[in-house]
A and B are shown apart, each in its own frame.
Chain A
Amino acid sequence: MKKNHKAICINHTLFKGVVVFFLILIWGCKKETQNETPNPPVPFQGFYQPEHFPSSEQPFDVSKINEKSFALGKRLFYDPILSRDSTISCGSCHIQASAFTQHGHDVSHGIDDLLGRRNALPIQNLMWQKNFLWDGGILNLELVAINAITSPVEMDESLLNIVEKLKRSKVYPQMFKEAFGNEEITSTKMLVALGYFMALFISDKSKYDEVKRGKAQFTEQEQRGYNLFKQHCETCHKEPLFTDQSFRNNGVQHFFTIDKGRYEISLISGDEGKFKVPSLRNIEFTAPFMHDGRFPSLMDVLNHYSDGIQNYTNLDPLLINKIPLNSQEKQDIISFLKTLSDFTFIRDKRFSEF
């Protein structure tokens, strides 16, 4: 009886063990199956207006951006067939980790190792820009790419050739069909698709943005830097885009023989040497600085504003007395500028090449 009881007990324990074992198995299996089922598809997020941004400036129709047209734009952006000898793509000079600039290059490094004359600008928040390039020469988002594609020192290719190459491709006709409803490949569609891709490069998730949303707080040093920034820099680098989109001469250059800047577009005497005030968003990633990439670090830039400015021709009146800053203040400003770094943006898988 005792034995029996024991046997029952053993059996019982064994039974329990088996049950637990199976439960674990099932649970394991279940977990595994859960892992195997793909995550519920994240709905495609098209264009959106960050609540603390002004209304957008571009007439580009972002309502047509969908998963397919975005995917086509992305493929084109990273495809070197957009260059004459298929060596460089848009992504070659606009690298995501560097907020879509060409890190380490003072001026653009294009086809045949040729050099441009200006520093590649970041691609971000394009829908809020009134115009594009350092001199504001182009007004429409979807027309900017023509400049780089056809420039003899950048991609040196014609739009018509690209259309021919795309037509011969095995993948593009289908992708154009999915994006636009028919297989016909035109340069307009190609440029619009590139625009769809780039229009979604919205950088609005930096620490600064989180502070503005009341979800984070500046450190003491960042706050000191922010106060100094508002005192000394905000007139030109206007929040929240950190540019007032004006053209100014900040006293880096005396001669304008190589590059007359805004004058080349406006032809207004006095605009020689003026360039678009660049946004400071993601500035931590976009060295070197200025239109010709002359300053390797943010400290060099601040040293220029505190001591380096010369009263050159067409110097902006706001800079005639330079910007008095001691080294602690410069450190504080740099600490604030780093709160403009948007890691979500530079790591966003939707925008990355691989």
Chain B
Amino acid sequence: MKKEFKNIFQILVIALALSITACKKKDDNHNHDTPTPQQPGETEIHLENRIGNLKFYLNESYVNENGDSVKFTMFNYYVSNFEFIKEDGSSYVVPKDSCYFLVKANDMESQELHFKNIPAGKYKGVRFIIGVDSLKSAAPLEQRTGVLDPATGAQGMYWSWNTGYIFVKAEGTCPGIPDSLQNKFKYHIGLFGGYSTPTINNIKKVELLFGQNIEIKSTKKPNIHCYVNPLEMFKTPTTFDVKAQPVIMASPASKTIADNYADMIKFDHIH
């Protein structure tokens, strides 16, 4: 009986001690957190169109991999679902409400992507997709705002007859394309893989590593400068002949162009 009592007493003492340390620990943590608050920071990704070392311009002639002279009149594309990769390999996922961008060759501002409220820290890269994810492609209209609004932001990048967005829209001319088509090429590449029945999925994942850690914090706003080469859509893995297929929209051939442009965005430098 006495022994039992002693045991209970011991347990009580231990429990009390534990609860005190637990409280203390909590306090400790609290005290530890407050002195060094890490304010979130901002960053920018600059997507500049370039052909090699030269700036890219609409309505200028460029020779593609197949040796054809092509002139773009339009080069628009979506990038979305950004994730910044931390030093330790984990990542910060940009919230859905601010992760969709429509980049247009004729709109310099659209080529600067702004990110706010990024947790302070060191980052070694960024991941995103070229295109719009399937969930958003099938979302109710009221959840499609800004660049995803079919009538305004996404004008010309939305198919009215087939669910989903045009991920990359490239139009222009090539002298080798027949006069009956006014020498025009039109590539409207979309398709997110289908909702109930699977179809072609042209969403392309991109991962760009900076080759160094960049610091993002409230007092430091790095600019991640990338080069985008529109001619990539005509090469690797498939050297593409615009004369043979001047118009591609929602068709199996769209995969060839999408596979080609998957590597059109390359990281260049930080400033």
Contacts A146-B150, A267-B251; is A61 near B161 (CB within 8 Å)? no
Segment touching B, from A66-74, A95-103, A107-115, A130-138: A130-138
Cβ contact within 8 Å between B155 and A139: no
Cβ contact within 8 Å between B142 and A192: yes
Size category of the B interface is 20 to 34
Which residues on the A side are within 8 Å of B195 (C-beta)?
131, 139
B143 to chain A, nearest CB (A): 9
Cβ contact within 8 Å between A191 and B141: yes
Size category of the A interface is 20 to 34
Interface code B140-180, partner A: CB below 8 Å = 1, 0 otherwise? Answer: 11101000011110010010111100000000000000000
Is A160's beta carbon under 8 Å from chain B? yes
A59 to chain B, nearest CB (A): 5
Which residues on the B side are within 8 Å of A137 (C-beta)?
161-163
Contacts A130-B196, A151-B160; is A140 near B138 (CB within 8 Å)? yes
Q: How far is the CA of A353 from the CA of B117 in the complex (A)?
A: 52
Which residues on the B side are within 8 Å of A142 (C-beta)?
140-141
Is A309's beta carbon under 8 Å from chain B? no
Is A236's beta carbon under 8 Å from chain B? no
Is A301's beta carbon under 8 Å from chain B? no
Q: How far is the CA of A59 from the CA of B144 in the complex (A)?
A: 14
Contacts A139-B163, A147-B161; is A188 near B138 (CB within 8 Å)? no
Cβ contact within 8 Å between B140 and A60: yes
Cβ contact within 8 Å between B151 and A160: yes
Cβ contact within 8 Å between A264 and B142: no
Chain B residues 79-134 with CB under 8 Å of chain A are: none
Which residues on the A side are within 8 Å of B196 (C-beta)?
130-131
Is A150's beta carbon under 8 Å from chain B? yes
Closest to A132 in B: B163
B137 to chain A, nearest CB (A): 8
Contacts A143-B150, A160-B152; is A150 near B197 (CB within 8 Å)? no
B139 to chain A, nearest CB (A): 8
B146 to chain A, nearest CB (A): 11
Which residues on the A side are within 8 Å of B161 (C-beta)?
133, 137-138, 147, 151
Which residues on the A side are within 8 Å of B250 (C-beta)?
264-265, 267
Cβ contact within 8 Å between B149 and A188: yes
Chain B residues 176-195 with CB under 8 Å of chain A are: 191, 194-195
Which residues on the A side are within 8 Å of B163 (C-beta)?
131, 137-140, 143
B147 to chain A, nearest CB (A): 14
B263 to chain A, nearest CB (A): 24
Chain A residues 79-128 with CB under 8 Å of chain B are: none
Q: How far is the CA of A268 from the CA of B198 in the complex (A)?
A: 9
Q: Which of B140, B149, B197 contacts A140 (CB 8 A)?
A: B140
Which residues on the A side are within 8 Å of B151 (C-beta)?
158-160, 163, 186-188
Which residues on the B side are within 8 Å of A146 (C-beta)?
150, 158, 160
Which residues on the A side are within 8 Å of B20 (C-beta)?
none
Which residues on the A side are within 8 Å of B139 (C-beta)?
59, 140
Cβ contact within 8 Å between B199 and A267: yes
Which residues on the B side are within 8 Å of A139 (C-beta)?
138, 163, 195
Q: How far is the CA of A250 from the CA of B127 in the complex (A)?
A: 46
Cβ contact within 8 Å between B199 and A266: yes
Q: How far is the CA of A304 from the CA of B162 in the complex (A)?
A: 30
B151 to chain A, nearest CB (A): 4
A116 to chain B, nearest CB (A): 11
Cβ contact within 8 Å between A266 and B197: yes
Is B52's beta carbon under 8 Å from chain A? no
Q: How far is the CA of A188 from the CA of B251 in the complex (A)?
A: 29
Q: How far is the CA of A83 from the CA of B187 in the complex (A)?
A: 28
Is B252's beta carbon under 8 Å from chain A? yes
Cβ contact within 8 Å between A61 and B140: yes
Which residues on the B side are within 8 Å of A147 (C-beta)?
160-161
Cβ contact within 8 Å between B140 and A268: no
Closest to A148 in B: B160
A41 to chain B, nearest CB (A): 30
Which residues on the B side are within 8 Å of A163 (C-beta)?
151
Which residues on the A side are within 8 Å of B194 (C-beta)?
266
Q: How far is the CA of A192 from the CA of B140 in the complex (A)?
A: 10
Contacts A159-B150, A163-B151, A192-B142; is A264 near B162 (CB within 8 Å)? yes
- A-B contact sample (4 more), CB < 8 A, given A140-B163, A188-B144: A131-B195, A137-B163, A188-B149, A268-B197
7 CB contacts below 8 A, A to B, read A59-B140, A137-B162, A146-B150, A147-B161, A151-B160, A160-B152, A188-B141
A-B pairs with lowest CB-CB distance, top 9? A187-B151, A159-B151, A146-B160, A137-B162, A147-B160, A139-B163, A142-B141, A266-B199, A150-B160
